[in-house]
Amino acid sequence: MTDLEGRTVLITGTGSGIGFACAEGFVADGATVYGADIRADRLEALEALGAVALEVDVSRDAEVKAFVQKAKIETGRVDVLFNNAGMSYGSRIEDLPEGEFEEMFAVHLFGAIFAMRAALPIMRAAGYGRVINTISRGAEADRDVAYAAAKSALWAAGRVAARETADTDILVNSLIPGPTNTPIWGRDMSHLQPASAVYPTVRLMATLPAGGARGQAYFWEKRYPLFLNTIPDGATTDYWDERTREMFARKR
């Protein structure tokens, strides 16, 4: 038996990368996993893991609500919600194509809000829940306006949710995966950590004990003080890459 045995875990953006790796980890730990992804062609591999796979566009409230309700109806519970769906473009403000900024918020922020709105009442009724929202150190970097703004907003929304559920055993926290080799880059980034390296932190957050941290950000199994590490004035454009290399060196 593990502390995840019999738990119902919901993960968005589960078709590849971090979501897929974490679905695999949760299934191995005995949880019942419901995975959502917008790409129907990625669901078969997810089902092969032993997860329940559903085609879901997280920017659509009705689809997210149906995803959460299906898990509740079929298992009687929603113990862990992992809002992981994400994307990235990298356009400058002056070059932003019409709709790109809005799409980034729809996926990263609205999708997480829709899921929390559907799942939190279920968790509150059960007296238990763990919510993990994937954010990024990109929120504190002076790059990619849509991505940085969406992740900053999700961090703020998660802190509000943590405060609003402070009278319960529902713990809402944010995940910073760290530089990870996933399809979000659009190319192989084999020098970065594999997606499976993120699962220990996700597992830690999903199994926090009663009275555990709420409204915090976790990075490599430790709390991370977001927005205390912004790029200083006068720094070169390589500053963030240098910081990443330093952090990897310390981790290893």
Answer for the pair 27, 6: CB distance below 8 angstroms, yes or no.
no
- Name the more confident of 69 and 15: 69
- Picking from 220, 243, 223, 219, the residue whose alpha carbon sits closest to that of residue 231 is 243
Q: Tens digits of per-residue pLDDT, 16-66?
A: 889 999 999 999 999 999 999 999 998 999 999 999 999 999 999 999 999
pLDDT band at 95 (very low <50, low <70, confident <90, very high): confident
pLDDT given at position 37: 95
- The residues that bridge with 154 in the sheet, in sequence order, are none
| Rama region for 45: left / alpha / beta (φ>0; ψ in -120 to 50; rest) | alpha
Which pair of structure tokens corresponds to residue 252? 């290893």
pLDDT at residue 239 is higher than 70 = no
What residues contact 29, with CB distance under 8 A and at least 6 apart? Answer: 2, 4, 5, 203
- Hunting for tokens 């150190």 — which residue is that? 137
- Give the per-residue pLDDT at 194: 84
Q: Which residue has the tokens 């994307």?
A: 87
pTM here is 0.88
Listed in order, strand segments (DSSP E) in the chain are 8-12, 32-37, 52-55, 80-83, 129-134, 170-176, 217-219, 222-223
Q: Would you list the domain boundaries of the chain?
A: 8-251
What's domain 8-251's architecture?
Answer: 3-Layer(aba) Sandwich (3.40)
Instruction: Write down the pLDDT at residue 185.
Output: 59
Contact 127, 169 (CB under 8 A): yes
Q: Do residues 192 and 179 lie in contact, with contact meaning Cβ atoms separated by under 8 Å?
A: yes
The alpha carbon of residue 246 and the mean position of all alpha carbons in its chain are separated, in whole angstroms, by 24
Per-residue pLDDT, averaged over 211-218, amounts to 96
DSSP secondary structure string for all residues of 31-45: -EEEEEES-GGGHHH
- Kindly list the catalytic residues: 147
pLDDT of 77 strictly over 60: yes
